[in-house]
Amino acid sequence: MEGVRGSLFAGPALLYTLLFFAVPFAVMAYVSLTPSTGSGGAGLSFANYAAFFERSYFLGAMANSLVVTAIVTVVSILLAYPFAVVLAEVVPERWQRLALALAVLPFWTSYVVRSYSWLLVLSSNGVINKALTGIGLLSEPLDLANSRLATVIGFTHFFVMLLTLTIYANLKQLPPSFRKAAADLGAGPVRTFVHVTLPLTLPGIMTGAFLTFVLCIGDFITPQILGGNNELLMPQLIMLQVGRRADFPMASALSILLMIVVTIAYFACARWLRLERSR
Amino acid sequence: MTRPLRASSVLGLVYAGLLYGFIFLPVAVLVLFSFHRGRFPIPPFNGPSLRWYDQILSDGRLMDALLNSLTVGVLSSLASVLLGFLAAYGIARHRPPGSRLLSGFLMAPLTVSYLIIGMGLLITFNAAGMPKSLLATGLGHIVINLPLCFAIIYSQLTDDQANIERSARDLGASEAKVLLLVTAPMIWPALFASFFLAFTFSWDEFVIAFLLTRFDVTLPVEIWSLLRSGLNPKTNAIGTLVFGVSILLVFVIEAVVFGRRRAST
């Protein structure tokens, strides 16, 4: 009886998720099996998936996406971890909230505008080039925008903020007594870090890394604004199928392949993820 | 602070300073050149001038898009909070069979890219003959925000509140009364926080809105079409304006939600 009432309250949300999340997903899965625009095929088949593995154009986009996402995730962790340590341990306690709030302030710029603002910095007549040519370090401006580097910088900027938050939160949960105990037992700062702090902050790192991976690999805006036309990432490829060719079947197949990659990543980090109810 | 600074601490602070520089560089350039007088937001800076703010405030399309974003944001966030609250209450308090599975299902959209959620809705609405519209975008925004609101509110429904609800029920309050007059007031900071978080996500969301709107668009989509004209101080001005408003919102949340928590401890 109790349970029935519970599902009554949860009913509207469950119905909504079913109608606007699960059903569209099923429809997309179905459409991905129908012949793609201009293929001349008929009936249901895995032809779109086969096409993905046969054409280097498609496979290349997936490879680009994986490489860019991997670089961004690793670089962001390497930059954010020491930053979070400084915020949690060097900055005096009463300034920490302010320091952290400042570190994530650019989160609140509009997402489209954030990529655009890197264009202002990196383009051939942008701030960096003007500064470098101004002091004579460069004679010709470099086109730093419209490249993989620009995409990586734009992504890293965002994810350093995200990872700083998750790692900082994790560091603050560690009781200081753990490190004191390690020191009492004769461990130096390096050993304490490697054997105590690092393993205990692994959940924070992995949660952040997983979020970075998911958000990064699915993002269309950053590579579209900063990457130029030299290479395509998966989201751009998907949007191309929808926009230019109105090829919903191929776009669906590519979307599902992208989702499979994310799911694999989820299971790879699942044991470290803490998405459970906090106590 | 009387603690002597060690060399490693100094090194750490220098590193933090560099990272702050990296984090703030593009934002500083964006804001500075929104006050630029010239036609291109590139150095050397000349100004300050409010010329581009004047232009965006008198730009009908931008202001329409801003209003659309506000409407979609407020309505979809309200719906997300309401659905999320009811579901969290039902699952946390009545523990229906398979409640882990049910909450897992409700949270599932969190692990799927917005692009894929948008694609699914586009194809489904297209098949159902539903035209692209702000309504479609709003429905999409509920999909991404409902799990968020559910998770936040669910985590705040603790067991000691359940006792208070039980005593209200023992005193004869109906389920609706308990929900409205007991539970909601006890967890209103969570309701408030999830509403504003949902609003920020909706307000800033691009790809779903891009896929699901055609003529009436939201602000991020309108800014996107501004970008086609390349570097343009108008984009700096609207970007700075949105940034300012968001910061203001963050301060409100901080003051209302966390201010209260601090006062109560």
CB–CB contact B114 A218 (8 Å): yes
CB contact under 8 A, A7 and B90: yes
What span, in angstroms and rounded, lies between the C-alpha atoms of A232 and B225? 20
Residues in Cβ contact with B9 at an 8 Å cutoff, skipping those fewer than 6 apart:
A90
Which residues of chain A have a CB within 8 Å of the CB of B43? Answer: 125-127, 130-131
Domain ranges, residue B230: 59-264
Q: Does A82 touch chain B (CB under 8 A)?
A: yes
Give CA torsion, residues A245, A112, A147, A66, to 10 deg. -70
Q: Which amino acid is it at B99?
A: S
User: B24 in a domain, yes or no?
Assistant: no
- Decide: B56 and B238 in contact? Cβ < 8 Å: yes
Mean pLDDT value across residues A206-230: 89
Specify if B94 maps to a domain.
yes
Nearest residue to B69 (alpha-carbon basis) of B198, B248, B225, B220: B220
> Who contacts A173 (Cβ-Cβ below 8 Å, separation ≥6)?
none
Instruction: State chain B's maximal CA–CA distance in angstroms.
Output: 72
Q: Does residue B263 carry a pLDDT above 60?
A: no
pLDDT band, very low/low/confident/very high, at B1 (cuts 50, 70, 90): very low
Residues of B in contact with A160 (CB under 8 A): 19, 22-23
Residue B199 covered by a domain: yes
Q: For residue B78, name the pLDDT band (cuts at 50, 70, 90).
A: very high
Strands (E) in chain A, as ranges, are none
Nearest-CA distance from A209 to chain B in Å?
Answer: 13
| pLDDT, position B48 | 83
Enumerate residues 6+ apart whose C-beta is below 8 A from B139: A20, B76, B121
Contact status of A149 with chain B (Cβ, < 8 Å): no
DSSP-derived letter for residue B128 is T
Are A262 and A214 in contact, with CB atoms under 8 Å apart?
A: yes
Is residue A98 less than 8 Å (CB to CB) from chain B? no
Residues 20-79 (A) with a CB less than 8 A from some CB of B: 20-21, 23-25, 27-28, 31, 79
Give the rounded percent of residues in chain B with a pLDDT score beyond 70.
Answer: 95
Contacts with B108 from chain A: Cβ below 8 Å: 17, 21
CATH class belonging to A56-237+262-272:
mainly alpha
Does the CB of A129 have a partner CB in chain B at under 8 Å? Answer: no
Res A54 pLDDT > 70: yes
Q: Please say whether the beta carbons of B143 and A17 come within 8 A.
A: yes
A126 and B CB contact within 8 Å:
yes
Q: Does B45 fall in a domain?
A: no
pLDDT of residue A173: 83
CA distances from A41 to A37, A47, A81, B235 (A): 9, 9, 52, 45
User: Closest residue of B to A160, CA-based?
Assistant: B23
Residue A72 is predicted with a pLDDT of 96
B47 domain-assigned: no
ipTM of the assembly?
0.86
Size of interface A-B (CB pairs under 8 A): 256
In a domain, B138, yes or no: yes
Chain A residue numbers with beta carbons less than 8 Å from the beta carbon of B127 are 27, 31
Distance of CA A57 to the CA centre of its chain: 23
Task: Tell me which of A109 and A270 has the higher pLDDT.
Answer: A109
Which residues, including other chains, have CB under 8 Å from residue A40's CB and lie 6 or more apart?
A: none
Residue B176 to residue B154: CA distance in whole angstroms? 18
pLDDT of A260: 92
- The answer to whether A16 and B146 are in contact (CB under 8 A) is yes
Rounded to an integer, the average pLDDT of A110-132 is 86
Structural domain count, chain B: 1
**A66, burial (CB in 10 Å: exposed 0-12, middle 13-18, buried 19+):** middle
Q: Decide: helix, strand or coil at residue B65.
A: helix
Q: Is the pLDDT of residue B93 over 70?
A: yes
Return d(Cα A187, Cα B46) in angstroms, integer: 57
- Phi and psi at residue A245, in whole multiples of 5°? -110, -5
As a whole number, mean pLDDT of residues B160-165 equals: 84
Question: C-alpha angle with apex A35: A34 to A37, nearest 5 degrees?
Answer: 125
CATH number at B220 reads 1.10.3720.10
The answer to whether residue B52 sits within a structural domain is: no
Query: Least CA distance to B137: which residue of chain A?
Result: A20
- Is residue B254 predicted with pLDDT exceeding 90? no
B66 pLDDT above the threshold of 70: yes
Q: Whose structure tokens read 């390690």?
A: A182
